[in-house]
Structure 1
Amino acid sequence: MPNGSALPGRSYLYVPGHRDSRHERAVHSGADDVIVDLEDAVPADAKKEARTACARLLERPPAGARVWARVNSHPAHLAADLAAVVSPSLTGVWVPKAEPALLAEVDERLTALEREAGVPAGATAVVALLETAEGVLRVEQVCRSPRVVRLGIGEADLAGELRLRPDEQSNQLHGVRLAVVLASAAAGLAPPVGPVEISVHDEERLHATTTLLLRQGFRARTALHPRQVPVINAVFTPTPQEVEEATELLAVLAEAQRQGQATAVDPSGRLVDPAVVRSAQEVLDRAR
């Protein structure tokens, strides 16, 4: 991942761009990544203020989380947003309502801005936030956009466009989630980032819905409040027991292969084959 650790984040904390008093606190919140929001969280008359505050944060970024900016997709704001935030300290941008044509425009603008700012070509990563029917239907093309390192999903906007009325478990959107997970895996991207939990005070619900996202193939989630970060990080971090079990599975198969066998049976009676070990290796890769 450009401008940051190769380990993709588990938690992406939104912070309103124009609330600069919250920026440094967000960076030190324990979130792996912070998204300075120049879009939905910012009133129309505060867009310029938000750009200035984000640029100020990037001038002297405090040690802590990687910093991203969520830009506006509307042409009236997109160019100014990108021009304000491109810098060596910026990990990348989140592009809402991501569709192939918009991503192509973002790539072109970023290329020019990187040259002007002395940023290495292609260093500014993009997370494509899928919030439209076209974005979901053309997700394979979205994944092929050269700067896209990860997909996100904005279910509130998407549900509105599709005229869905999701229940508390968002069952009506599970098909979309699977499509996003499949497209990410097929394109070799990091597993996608799940949507926010709007019940910011309900820790039990946050844990349950984040665990569901983990089971569905997501490995990160956006957060609206710092209090959500510890729960999200905990769910997406393997427990010591999971790490121990994964390590044992790898050892069992390795020993079987040394003896010329393709599979093995562990002490509990479970079949261990390369597919099982692949899942175990993924657990170890996520361990921090």
Structure 2
Amino acid sequence: MNLAPNGLPVDFLTRSWLVIPPLEEGALAAGMKSGADVVCFDLGAVSRVRRATAAEALCQFVRESKEALQQVGAPAVFFLLPEADDDTDSLLETLMPARPTGLLLTVHDPRDVQELDVLVAVHEAINDIEDGLTRLACLLPHALNADFCGLSRRLIGLGWSAEAFRAHVGARRMLDAGGALSDSFRLARSSVLLAAASAGLEAIDSHSGLWSTDRLARDVQEAAADGFTGKFSLSPRQVSAINHGFTPGPDEVEEARAWLQQPDELCRRDYLRALRVLKRAP
């Protein structure tokens, strides 16, 4: 079992995060059967005028899928919210009766997490949901000069969005001439990874678009080697490769077990890291 920094259990895997637009009924059903660890229904992909209607339909879909979501291997359900604004409270009013596993919020400032935490607590109480049961994760363009330590007991992970960073800086390219991320994108990606590590949180890499299978496999391998614990995806066809790439090998599992046999020599961060490795082990 994985632990959030405050010691609360996170009883679901977090290797693959499949992002799905909420208005495509076929995509919703396919996502639930994709094998993804986490399915993120993206309300930010819906125009503001249609967002309330989409939220109502999505809530109904998740509630009707309750039995399927209780089966072994069913995904955790997160609602991906747009940047916090005046509509956030009304969105939560519509969505929280579905009792999602968590919420994924696009943020530019760590204070957004604290504000959402307060709103979620209110709506948990209204819907008779156990306090703290709804988890939070953040989607960031970068985490330069940002500290996410101790912001919320609900917070479990930080995710990097290459697209959000591209818009943030007005970049006209994402890749260099050799096909690798350009310098500014690598810096932004690393900042999110380091912020997650410092706060003891999951680190989720940006999606790889809909590029070739070979490119996806390379990206997953590099992300896992760099220290990320999961990755976003845009297609159910990518889920298997992501799950495979973030499943630890025998040597990594053996090392994690060895760490836990020496608890007096472990700091809390190493302890959490060992638990994460064993949680993802086959």
TM over 0.5: yes
Distance 1:93 1:245 in 2: 30
CA distance in 2, matches of 1:231, 1:142: 31
- Judged with a 3 Å threshold, the aligned counterparts in structure 2 of structure 1 residues 74 and 150 are, in CA distance, closer, same or farther, namely closer
Taking structure 1 as the reference length, what is the TM-score of the superposition?
0.78
Q: Cα distance, 1:74 vs. partner?
A: 4.5
Q: Alignment RMSD, CA only? A: 3.2
Determine which of 163, 166, 174 is the counterpart of 1:166: 174
Which residue number corresponds to residue 41 of structure 2? Answer: 36
Tell me the residue number matched to 2:52. Answer: 48
Matched, 1:182 2:197: no
159-168 vs 117-126, which moves further: 159-168
2:280 maps to 1:286: yes
Residue type of the alignment partner of 1:10: R
Answer yes or no: is the 8 Å Cα contact 1:243–1:284 preserved in 2. no
Asked if structure 1 preserves the Cα contact closer than 8 Å seen for 2:107 and 2:139, the reply is: yes
Kept in 1, the 8 Å contact 2:83–2:106? The answer is yes
How many percent identity over aligned positions?
25
Query: Does residue 92 of structure 1 match 2:96?
Result: no
- Structure 2 gaps of 5+ residues are 266-271
CA distance in 2, matches of 1:249, 1:38: 38
CA offsets 1:144-182 (integer angstroms, 9 cap, x no match): 233211101111111232244321321422223222222
- The structure whose Rg is larger is 1
| Distance in 2 separating the partners of 1:137 and 1:130 | 10
Give the aligned residue type for 2:52: K
**Partners of 2:148 and 2:195 within 8 A in 1:** no
- The answer for unaligned runs of 5 or more in structure 1 is 263-277
Q: Kindly tell me: are residues 58 and 98 of structure 1, through their superposed partners in 2, closer, same or farther at Cα, counting changes over 3 Å?
A: farther
Distance 1:141 1:31, change over 3 A: closer
Secondary structure of the corresponding residue to residue 19 of structure 2: strand
Partner SS for 1:9: coil
CA distance in 1 between counterparts of 2:113 and 2:274 reads 35
1:215 to 214, 220, 225: 225
Whole-angstrom CA distance in 2 between matches of 1:75 and 1:156: 20
In the aligned structure 2, how far is the partner of 1:71 from the partner of 1:210?
Answer: 25
* More off after superposition, 75-84 vs 222-231: 75-84
